[in-house]
């Protein structure tokens, strides 16, 4: 495989490194004299290893280790009047703990509002507290509708919140739609199909309520509709009877 010095010479024989990156002279790498410089994406050949405790760095000193984006818990904010400014909605979240941002969705052409937005929080409990505090707030004659973000996993506290009759099946199941086995079984408060999905605020109080809840109706199912009937006028003047009522009775019992 050759010596380390041969590898250094081979690397520096190029006019430039991958993607046009220039190579520094031998000994100028991040690991000290005699070691080749590192380039983003470069792999050491078989037989060579980094010294103990050394973490590889690309030219410029940036770490090659992956960085993790800070977690944010999203809340969907809907039913916003189209003439509402972002600041009008954002001010409602100012007193909410853990708020990271609020943004109003706007038309790609640079036009006005699309009627919804997203708030992001540092912790799931803070996102849920905001939903409880702001959902239903009126702005310009429209009541805001806040929902847990559909692309965010839930917590036990969030699951219990959605078991209330008015929230039951108003949100898709995160695991089911990610094709992950749902851990809640039949007690899952989220919709597993379009047919199960209810629109928040527009369903009857007992429609689709969780079994055994106060909102679930215990009344028996109504009887099936009777076949269509048609009324046919029957002349009764020629039927026997002293009065019109007696004649009508005689006509319909004939």
pLDDT in tens, 188-237: 999 999 999 988 765 444 445 565 555 454 444 455 555 554 445 556 56
The region of weakest confidence among 78-82, 117-121, 163-167, 237-241 is 237-241
| Separation between Cα atoms, residue 142 and residue 122, nearest integer Å | 28
Per-residue confidence at 29, pLDDT binned at 50, 70, 90?
A: very low
Token pair belonging to 25: 């002279």
* pLDDT tens-place string over residues 100-123: 999 999 988 877 889 999 999 999
pTM assigned to the model: 0.55
Per-residue confidence at 99, pLDDT binned at 50, 70, 90?
A: very high
Query: What pLDDT, on the 0 to 100 scale, is given for residue 214?
Result: 52
Cβ contact 121:99 at 8 Å? yes
CB atoms within 10 A of CB 210: 18
Sheet of strand 99-106: strand arrangement: 99-106, 113-121, 73-78, 145-148
Helices marked H in the chain:
4-12, 86-90, 124-134, 156-161, 174-177, 244-253
Query: What pLDDT, on the 0 to 100 scale, is given for residue 227?
Result: 52
Query: What pLDDT, on the 0 to 100 scale, is given for residue 28?
Result: 47
129: DSSP letter = H
Instruction: For residues 127-141, give the mean pLDDT.
Output: 96
| Separation between Cα atoms, residue 224 and residue 230, nearest integer Å | 18
- DSSP track, 103-166: EEEE-TTS-SEEEEEEEEESSHHHHHHHHHHHTT-EETTEE-EEEE-TTS---HHHHHHTTSTT
Query: What pLDDT, on the 0 to 100 scale, is given for residue 48?
Result: 55
Phi, psi of 142 (to 5 degrees): -125, 140
Query: What pLDDT, on the 0 to 100 scale, is given for residue 236?
Result: 56
Token pair belonging to 116: 């919804």
**Residue 241: pLDDT over 80:** no
Query: What pLDDT, on the 0 to 100 scale, is given for residue 10?
Result: 52
Higher-confidence position of 204 and 173: 173
Secondary structure of residue 31 in the 3-state scheme: coil
């Amino acid at each position: 495989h050759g010596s380390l010095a041969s590898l250094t010479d081979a690397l520096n024989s190029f006019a430039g490194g991958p993607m046009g990156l220039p190579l520094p002279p031998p000994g100028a790498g991040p690991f000290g004299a005699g070691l080749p410089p590192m380039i983003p994406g470069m792999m050491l050949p078989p037989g060579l290893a980094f010294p103990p405790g050394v973490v590889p760095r690309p030219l410029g000193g940036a770490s090659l280790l992956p960085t993790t984006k800070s977690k944010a818990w999203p809340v969907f904010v809907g039913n916003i009047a189209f003439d509402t400014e972002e600041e009008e909605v954002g001010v409602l979240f100012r007193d909410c703990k853990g708020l990271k941002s609020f943004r109003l969705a706007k038309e790609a052409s640079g036009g006005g509002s699309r009627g919804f937005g997203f708030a992001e929080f540092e912790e799931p409990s803070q996102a849920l507290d905001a939903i409880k505090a702001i959902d239903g707030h009126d702005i310009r004659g429209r009541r805001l509708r806040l929902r847990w973000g559909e692309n965010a996993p839930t917590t036990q506290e969030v699951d219990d919140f959605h078991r209330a009759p008015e929230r039951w099946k108003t949100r898709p199941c995160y695991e089911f739609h990610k094709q992950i086995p749902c851990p809640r079984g039949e007690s899952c408060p989220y919709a597993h199909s379009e047919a199960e999905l209810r629109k928040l605020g527009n369903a009857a109080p007992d429609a689709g309520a969780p079994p055994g809840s106060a909102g679930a109706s215990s009344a028996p199912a109504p009887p099936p509709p009777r076949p269509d009937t048609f009324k046919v006028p029957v002349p009764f003047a020629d039927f026997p009877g002293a009065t019109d009522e007696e004649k009508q009775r005689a006509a319909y019992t004939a």
